[in-house]
Amino acid sequence: MRIATWNVNSITARLPRLLAWLESSGTDVLCIQETKCTAEQFPADQLRELGYESAVNANGRWNGVALLSRVGLEDVVMGLPGGPDYDGVQEPRAISATCGGVRLWSVYVPNGREVGHDHYTYKLHWLEALRDAVSADATGERPFAVLGDFNIAPTDEDVFDPAVFEGATHVTPAERAALAALRDAGLADVVPRPLKYDRPYTYWDYRQLCFPKNRGMRIDLVYGNAPFDKARKDAFVDREERKGKGASDHAPVVVDLEI
């Protein structure tokens, strides 16, 4: 089974590339982040023509997550149980379902904006709620994983130059501690390093030629429990999909399971 995660940065803008990628990549389940559409605007019909069922948690603003599956889509849960609100609203940042016997979450962790901002505090609380919500599945016998844009680089090796990010979000001790707490719940980073590239980043800003210069960050992660990690036979960042006109600023991260 091939499972992937991809922040598409607007599914409407990326739809032609998404459809082509699904056809060429052989992906069975795709976790999507940053749909930037309402549930009604989501292109479920076009995806169904390719054989994919869709589950969508989106409200048309800057967030939105989805799961696409051609191996079943059962027991869908919208949102993060027990998750915090921001400005009185629980943002559409999580969705989970069982696909082909594997329980999966697609998550879009809050950005945090800047250290000390209310959104930064919200980010830390959101991660605490995520840890609590997944703890039972993390230690279970069924393959389970949380995939998505975590908006955190786990280590200094996951950014092109730590000095550039000093004092900024995505690399602070508190964020990394929250990520470590998620791993301590029974999950592991199942995309090993080194991969094909010395620096397997997943995100490159559109500005300042960041992609050609490989000035990137590894913030799109796959955290799986022991049965998921044991079933893994390959994992990679599809860096080629970041190239060319109309690309997202994130690349898909792909994991192959022997299931």
Q: Counting every residue, how long is the chain?
A: 259
Among residues 163, 66, 154, 155, the alpha carbon closest in space to that of 105 is found at: 66
108 is catalytic: yes
Asked if residue 170 belongs to a known ligand binding site, the reply is no
Known binder of ligand: residue 7? yes
240 is in an annotated binding site: no
Residue 113 is which amino acid? R
Given 108, 122, 203, 223, the catalytic residue: 108
Cβ atoms 223, 204 nearer than 8 A: no
Kindly state the tokens that stand for 44: 């479920």
For this structure, is 149 an active site residue? yes
Closest CA to 119 of 72, 86, 70, 71: 86
Could you say which of 28, 120, 122, 149 is catalytic? 149
Can you give the C-alpha Rg of the chain in angstroms? 17
Residue 117 known to bind ligand: no
3-state secondary structure of 98: strand
Q: Is 63 annotated as a binding residue?
A: no
- Cβ atoms of 249 and 9 closer than 8 Å: yes
Find out whether 45 and 20 touch, Cβ atoms under 8 Å. Answer: no
The Cα 27–Cα 203 span in angstroms is 20
| Residue 34 annotated as binding site | yes
Active site residue 250: yes
3-state secondary structure of 248: coil
Token pair belonging to 173:
């001790």
Annotated binding site for Mg(2+): 7, 34, 149, 151, 249-250
Annotated binding site: 7, 34, 149, 151, 249-250
Q: Which residues are catalytic?
A: 108, 149, 250
